[in-house]
Amino acid sequence: MLRLQLSPCGFDTIPTVSIEFKIEARDGSARCGRLSTPHGEVETPVFMPVGTQASVKAVPQDILEELGVQILLGNTYHLYLRPGVQQVRRLGGLHGFMSWNGAILTDSGGFQVFSLNELRKVSEEGVTFRSHLDGSSHFFSPENATEAQIGLGADIIMAFDECTEYPAEPQRVRESMELTLRWAARSKKYFEEHKHAVPWGKVSSFQFLVSSAQNTGNRKPETGNYQALFGIVQGGTDPRLRRESAERTIEIGFSGYAIGGLSVGEPRSLTREIVESTIEHLPTDRPRYLMGVGTPEEIVEYANLGVDMMDCVLPTRAARHGLLFTSEGKISIKQARYADDAGPLDTNCACSVCSRYSRAYLRHLYAANEVLAQVLNTIHNLSFYLDTMRRVRHSIELGRKTRSLSEVWSLRER
Ligand SMILES: [Zn+2]
């Protein structure tokens, strides 16, 4: 087992742990792992539901727990603008504020600045942007984006990066990659100097390390449990730049590595090619996080390539628009053909929605614009994604080399 972020103090106790990552099974390039965070264990490969505003839209936290969500994602950009980092910090960080005891990952805000702000201005120092809420001017740098993420208190936080647009000229991609590398070093420096300021440091570290000590003998727990900082590999769609970005990000040294800057308009075959070639240059013993993907078919495919963590707004956003993913393909529940359909949404799905409600009822709720439509549709879609990942993990454990969504869903239940 790899222990990351050793204690700088040299005490004769167990090291100060932010996260641990243990690989438990391999099947070709795919691997099953266990990521231990200060707020619980995460089985990988994992799909992380997106909770943009400290809320996975339409689903309360107790239902996320019932669905088996072990980690969810928050967006620094949105939480920084509203309600504000200091307010979240005063209320116990994101875990306390939203009453979520599982693991949380926050992004650095870079992607939202990129995608929501056409008027952003990028300089060596950082990015000036306007709030999409009220037009006010703000500035993100590697230092203050990291400071914001320490204040929000997620278990895993991301280095501040520039997401390069697609398509882009080769010179522009290189310059952007170089800027991201300089920002990565600044993010890490700030994090190392300020990581003790995390809102939950003392309490949670005690609980976590007591349980670790119980598992590892009689060594005394020490206080001082921190977040884990991940670096982000950029480099556009050029495999050579991706390699260089990976190697130089690894030189800076992070607890895990993300592949960023994909799913920004490039063809999906190219996304896959770049993911595959980038993974070759990432360390095998650290978690690999592919940001912002994908469809159910794609998450199976990327897990098979050796990706450990993924997130996407697709299952939740599509659900709110009546687009539901099933083991037999997509369903647009708004269609009149479902008006008399007394069957469940997906006969293979064991979720609370499929066990109880008919397609006809779901179609009626959607047509009548009932709030419950959004709730039920989102619960099903999230359940489908999480169940797909459970099946992928099972397939990897069995060494089945299942390569597609339909193969994964035709595997017998354990
Ligand atoms: Zn279902």
Distance 203 CA to ligand 1 centre (A): 37
CA 138 to each of CA 150, 151, 153, 269: distance values in angstroms, whole numbers, following the listed order = 18, 17, 21, 36
Distance 352 CA to ligand 1 centre (A): 7
Q: What is the pLDDT of residue 202?
A: 58
Phi-psi region of 18 (alpha: psi -120 to 50; beta: other; left: phi over 0): alpha
Distance 345 CA to ligand 1 centre (A): 6
Distance 300 CA to ligand 1 centre (A): 18
Distance 159 CA to ligand 1 centre (A): 36
Give the pLDDT means over successive 10-residue stretches in the chain (414 positions). Answer: 39 56 97 96 98 98 98 97 98 97 95 84 96 94 98 98 93 97 98 94 48 42 73 97 98 98 94 98 98 96 98 98 97 98 97 98 98 98 98 95 90 66
Distance 177 CA to ligand 1 centre (A): 41
- Tens-place pLDDT, residues 258-281: 999 999 999 999 999 999 999 999
CA 130 to each of CA 117, 134, 138, 147: distance values in angstroms, whole numbers, following the listed order = 7, 8, 6, 19
Distance 381 CA to ligand 1 centre (A): 7
The residue behind tokens 């976590």 is 208
The residue behind tokens 């050796």 is 306
Distance 370 CA to ligand 1 centre (A): 19
Distance 290 CA to ligand 1 centre (A): 25
40 CA to centre of own chain: 15
351 CA to centre of own chain: 22
Structure tokens at 119: 């008027």
- Catalytic residues, which ones? 107, 311
Closest of 256, 265, 242 to residue 177, by C-alpha: 242
Distance 310 CA to ligand 1 centre (A): 21
Rounded to whole angstroms, how far apart are CA atoms 206 and 362? 46
Q: What is the pLDDT of residue 17?
A: 58
Q: What is the pLDDT of residue 413?
A: 60
Q: What is the pLDDT of residue 117?
A: 76
Rounded to whole angstroms, how far apart are CA atoms 253 and 78? 28
Q: What is the pLDDT of residue 320?
A: 98
| pTM for the structure as a whole | 0.91
φ/ψ (deg, to 5) at 57:
-50, 125
Query: Which three-class secondary structure string do you get for the chain?
Result: CEECCCCCCCCCCCCCCCCEEEEEEEECCEEEEEEEECCEEEEECEEECECCCCCCCCCCHHHHHHHCCCEEEECHHHHHHCCCHHHHHHCCHHHHHCCCCCEEEECCCHHHHHHHCCCCEECCCCEEEECCCCCCEEEECHHHHHHHHHHHCCCEEECCCCCCCCCCCHHHHHHHHHHHHHHHHHHHHHHHHHHHHCCCHHHHHHHHHHHHHHHCCCCCCCCCCCCEEEEEECCCCCHHHHHHHHHHHHHHCCCEEEECCCCCCCCHHHHHHHHHHHHCCCCCCCCEEECCCCCHHHHHHHHHHCCCEEECCHHHHHHHCCEEEECCEEEECCCHHHCCCCCCCCCCCCCHHHHHCCHHHHHHHHHCCCHHHHHHHHHHHHHHHHHHHHHHHHHHHHCCCCCCHHHHHHCCCC
Radius of gyration of the chain (CA): 21
Q: What is the pLDDT of residue 392?
A: 97
Distance 18 CA to ligand 1 centre (A): 35
Q: What is the pLDDT of residue 288?
A: 98
Distance 157 CA to ligand 1 centre (A): 31
Q: What is the pLDDT of residue 115?
A: 84
For residue 73, what are the contacts with CB-CB under 8 A and spacing of at least 6?
Answer: 48, 49, 50, 51, 104, 105, 106, 107, 311
